Structure 1
Amino acid sequence: MKLVREITVDNFAGGGGASAGYELATGVPVDVAINHDPDAIRMHEVNHPETLHLQEDVWDIDPRDVCAGRPVALNWLSPSCTHHSIAAGGKPKNKQLRAQAWLAVRWAATVRPRVQILENVKEFQSWGPLLKNGQPDPKRKGLTYKTFVNALRRQGYDVETRVLKACDYGAPTGRERFFMAMRRDGRPIVWPEPTHGAPDSPSVRSGKLKPWRTAAEIIDWSIPCPSIFERKKPLAENTLRRIARGIKKFIIDNPNPYIVPPDKVVFIARQFGQSIGHGADEPLGTITAGGMGKCQLVTAFLAQYHNETTGNEARGQTLDRPLMTLDTSNRYALVTSHLVKLRGQNIGQPVTEPLHTITAGGLHHAEVRAFLVAYYGSSVGQTMDSPLGTVTTHDRFGLVTIHGTPYQIVDIGMRMLEPHELFAAQGFPPEYIIDRDATGKRYPKSAQVARCGNSVPPPFAEALIRANLPELCKDVPYKSGHQLELRLI
């Protein structure tokens, strides 16, 4: 006979979001990771080499064989959410994929994990039978879910659920997920207290909580954001329209548009062909050209491309909030607006030329790219070298007033967010490997983004594990009643 420690299992392990959170909390890797996808297993393996990896369908594995008599402290389950989510629209639902959650009952009935945690979309609670056309039966909404919960309780588990937001636990994304906590050891289920909150909330102002981490934190400002007017292949009209609407909503009509920090803006400025320079010790947003006081700055926002926009709708966000929920496609683009401070008709010039004399009719002196964005009809804007469009009683052009100072948009850059930025938004550690597997095989960007969209934000897992399994965690003092379960075999 010998004493054996409890083990932890990550079912539907994917690229390793829950496992990364477990390791952040405990300082050690999960013992077993299970997934049918070889690419997911290989990404998990390169980041968690000490874990036992099982590339199998979760239903083809007998939990008793996996555990070999060892007690299970935690069984984490992240069953497919696609066929529960409303994001799939009117597409038929797959009954088999919706049934993946029943794995929790199988593990409960065979090896009786002390704690199980399941995560999914919040629509999981409406899980019920499907009609013949593959759509949920509205008359039996939630019926299967109730049966599922009752089956767990019959196995001796206490069951509680919550919908949590990742930004409340330190991830710079607003991803919202449903969590079901199940435990059979007689201890209470504990829901972690938020560590972050809205910047204007009383809890943040009083210092009780930290402010939400923002999308701006995960942007790699050193990556070029090329001008949309110098592309070899012009952007589609619908994309230009989205950009125009975003500029109107998030910059022109926004009394406090996001201004790129002074120590970052130089990278963007250089991309627009002006070595205008900027020091981190200079006032926010002020960039001097030749010391002559022609102030310039860069504003930015994220455009979102989940579907076609209609009317005057603009999908996207400013950068002073957590990034919106990610999915398996890269649908976020960074849009930057290069602004120049207006002094009469002065719209600026490159610093590589002697300072020009600016007259009242000085538009022809401008050497920077200029673009006015119109917001009516089908127009998406015009260049400055064409006649000004019809002026109506409403200001419809790209003139921006920031804190009482007028600016004019002289260039616009756009690029899609890179995979490492998206993983950072999910809360993955910066050292997490996302571009290659354990064999050295490189992953294309599309595969990296898909793995990110399917992932559990690690801060979720870390917070839940610290709250419910403190005896496993590092930097957590021992408390009476919280101890590892050891079993004779």
Structure 2
Amino acid sequence: MITFVDLFCGGGLGARGAVTAGARPILAVDAWDIATTTYKSNFPSAEVLCSPIEQIDPRGFAGKHRPDVLLTSPECTSHSIARGAKPGCEQSKETAIGIIPWIEAMEPRWLIVENVNRMKKWGRHNELVSTIESYGYTVNDLFLNAADFGVPQSRKRMFLICDRQGSVISREHLISLHKREVKPAHSVIDWSGKYKSRPLYAENRAQATIERAERAIKKLGRKKDFIIVYYGSDYGGGWQSLDIPLRTVTTLDRFGLVTWKDNTPYLRMLQPPELLKAMGVGSKHELPHGNRRDKIKLCGNGVCSPVMEMIFKKIILIESKEMGLAS
């Protein structure tokens, strides 16, 4: 079985995809205790450490853990457009450089680096790629949208998929491995009535929220459900249809569902189980720790499971073919 070490592991959403493909996590590291306890709850056989990776000497684990894959999702806050006009923190960005000692110590055949695509504008991005290549890796630099993998969310991310044996992997290779149709935002909603709404025109409702909703109503007409989108670039007018994939899930509470009772619009925020579904995670994965805000953050920091599933399926397929040739 393919094994992996998971750096910046979060709540294990990416790991869930890897496990679904047939891989096994042996070590996971994250600096946030809610993330590590969530990971441990979902993957109890893995060793899980709560620490910044730069405060750990990976040589101490090299004899114990020799993974096939080093899976990394460095902190993306200072690369992401979701941070708005706030100045980027170079220390946050340089967490990506912190993976190099782990490569040296563990010598995995495969290395995966996931981040927002704007990471390519970082001044040290090319340095990171050339350093990875100096260790003998062929770097496949891919731009993947989770919606292309049957995830009910438009989430575009950079993936560096690196192999010491020189494998060439393309976006088309990965998409061809799955037979999933595009899923709309409608599919993540819990329509049972479990989560209560308030009238849109309730007292103390922010005027900006009213304006977003009224733009949607003007476009769609009355008695048509839709989603209000808070934060981030407002190219969509602050709302979106339920007939297309959800816009990117972030660490903030950004999606409000507008539904109708007779001719009156009601509003509620999407809840963590719905956001987890928007990340493509199946019913096996749970978020048993933390408050509502923590669970939203776990989703926003995560990697969509089906995307990672297809990456690991491709890795397993390549290695299986090599073993077949060798035999």
- Please report the TM-score for the alignment, with normalisation by the length of structure 1: 0.62
- Given that 2:82 and 2:231 are in contact with CA atoms closer than 8 Å, whether structure 1 keeps it comes out as no
In structure 2, the residue matched to 1:21 is 17
1:303 is matched with which residue: 225, 228, 232? 228
Tell me, in whole angstroms, the C-alpha distance in 2 between the residues paired with 1:309 and 1:167.
20
Tell me, in whole angstroms, the C-alpha distance in 2 between the residues paired with 1:150 and 1:236.
49
Tell me, in whole angstroms, the C-alpha distance in 2 between the residues paired with 1:76 and 1:94.
23
In structure 2, the residue matched to 1:239 is 209
Root-mean-square deviation (CA, aligned residues, Å) is 2.6
* 89-98 or 46-55: bigger deviation: 89-98
Q: Deviations over 1:77-103 (max 9, x none)?
A: 000111112332321211111111113
Q: Which amino acid aligns with 1:444?
A: N
Tell me, in whole angstroms, the C-alpha distance in 2 between the residues paired with 1:177 and 1:221.
30
Asked whether 1:425 is paired with 2:278, we answer yes
In structure 2, the residue matched to 1:455 is 302
Q: Deviations over 1:406-432 (max 9, x none)?
A: xxxx21111100110011001111232
Are the structure 2 counterparts of residues 171 and 250 from structure 1 closer, same or farther at C-alpha, using a change threshold of 3 Å?
Answer: same
Tell me, in whole angstroms, the C-alpha distance in 2 between the residues paired with 1:71 and 1:309.
45
Q: Deviations over 1:357-393 (max 9, x none)?
A: xxxxxxxxxxxxxxxxxxxxxxxxxxxxxxxxxxxxx
Q: How does 1:65-464 map to 2 (within 5 A)?
A: 65-68=60-63, 70-128=65-123, 144-189=124-169, 191=171, 192-194=173-175, 210-223=180-193, 224-228=195-199, 231=202, 233-251=203-221, 298-306=223-231, 314-338=237-261, 410-434=263-287, 436-437=288-289, 443-464=290-311
Q: Which amino acid aligns with 1:447?
A: D
Tell me, in whole angstroms, the C-alpha distance in 1 between the residues paired with 2:108 and 2:24.
18
Q: Which amino acid aligns with 1:25?
A: A
- Given that 2:26 and 2:65 are in contact with CA atoms closer than 8 Å, whether structure 1 keeps it comes out as no
Tell me, in whole angstroms, the C-alpha distance in 1 between the residues paired with 2:261 and 2:64.
63
Q: Deviations over 1:56-87 (max 9, x none)?
A: 22112222322316532000000011111233
Tell me, in whole angstroms, the C-alpha distance in 1 between the residues paired with 2:154 and 2:27.
29
Q: Which amino acid aligns with 1:47?
A: N
- Given that 1:183 and 1:189 are in contact with CA atoms closer than 8 Å, whether structure 2 keeps it comes out as no
SS of equivalent to 2:54: helix
The structure with the largest alpha-carbon Rg is 1
2:25 is matched with which residue: 15, 19, 30? 30
Are the structure 2 counterparts of residues 308 and 317 from structure 1 closer, same or farther at C-alpha, using a change threshold of 3 Å?
Answer: closer
Tell me, in whole angstroms, the C-alpha distance in 1 between the residues paired with 2:166 and 2:323.
11
Unaligned runs of 5+ residues in structure 1 are: 129-143, 197-207, 253-297, 340-409, 438-442, 473-477, 485-489
Tell me, in whole angstroms, the C-alpha distance in 2 between the residues paired with 1:316 and 1:301.
7
Instruction: Report the alpha carbon displacement of residue 251 of structure 1 after superposing the two structures with TM.
Output: 3.3
Instruction: Report the alpha carbon displacement of residue 225 of structure 1 after superposing the two structures with TM.
Output: 4.8
User: More helix by proportion, 1 or 2?
Assistant: 2
1:10 is matched with which residue: 6, 14, 28? 6
Percent sequence identity is: 29
Are the structure 2 counterparts of residues 240 and 31 from structure 1 closer, same or farther at C-alpha, using a change threshold of 3 Å?
Answer: same
Tell me, in whole angstroms, the C-alpha distance in 1 between the residues paired with 2:200 and 2:13.
39
Are the structure 2 counterparts of residues 318 and 467 from structure 1 closer, same or farther at C-alpha, using a change threshold of 3 Å?
Answer: same
SS of equivalent to 1:464: helix
Tell me, in whole angstroms, the C-alpha distance in 1 between the residues paired with 2:184 and 2:95.
34
SS of equivalent to 2:221: helix
Are the structure 2 counterparts of residues 88 and 307 from structure 1 closer, same or farther at C-alpha, using a change threshold of 3 Å?
Answer: closer
- Given that 1:6 and 1:71 are in contact with CA atoms closer than 8 Å, whether structure 2 keeps it comes out as no
- Please report the TM-score for the alignment, with normalisation by the length of structure 2: 0.90
Are the structure 2 counterparts of residues 459 and 9 from structure 1 closer, same or farther at C-alpha, using a change threshold of 3 Å?
Answer: same
Q: Which amino acid aligns with 2:71?
A: W
SS of equivalent to 1:118: strand
Are the structure 2 counterparts of residues 81 and 483 from structure 1 closer, same or farther at C-alpha, using a change threshold of 3 Å?
Answer: farther
- Given that 2:2 and 2:316 are in contact with CA atoms closer than 8 Å, whether structure 1 keeps it comes out as no
Are the structure 2 counterparts of residues 47 and 62 from structure 1 closer, same or farther at C-alpha, using a change threshold of 3 Å?
Answer: same
SS of equivalent to 2:323: coil
Tell me, in whole angstroms, the C-alpha distance in 2 between the residues paired with 1:211 and 1:36.
36
Q: Which amino acid aligns with 1:481?
A: M
Q: Which amino acid aligns with 1:226?
A: S
Tell me, in whole angstroms, the C-alpha distance in 2 between the residues paired with 1:228 and 1:110.
57
Q: Which amino acid aligns with 1:174?
A: S
Instruction: Report the alpha carbon displacement of residue 240 of structure 1 after superposing the two structures with TM.
Output: 1.8
Tell me, in whole angstroms, the C-alpha distance in 1 between the residues paired with 2:73 and 2:6.
8
Q: Which amino acid aligns with 1:420?
A: P
Q: Which amino acid aligns with 1:162?
A: L
Instruction: Report the alpha carbon displacement of residue 227 of structure 1 after superposing the two structures with TM.
Output: 4.7
Aligned length: 324
SS of equivalent to 1:30: strand
Q: Which amino acid aligns with 1:84?
A: H
Runs ≥4 in structure 1, deviation > 6 angstroms?
Answer: 307-310
SS of equivalent to 1:90: coil
Q: Deviations over 1:208-238 (max 9, x none)?
A: 964301111110011355351685x442332
Tell me, in whole angstroms, the C-alpha distance in 2 between the residues paired with 1:194 and 1:21.
15
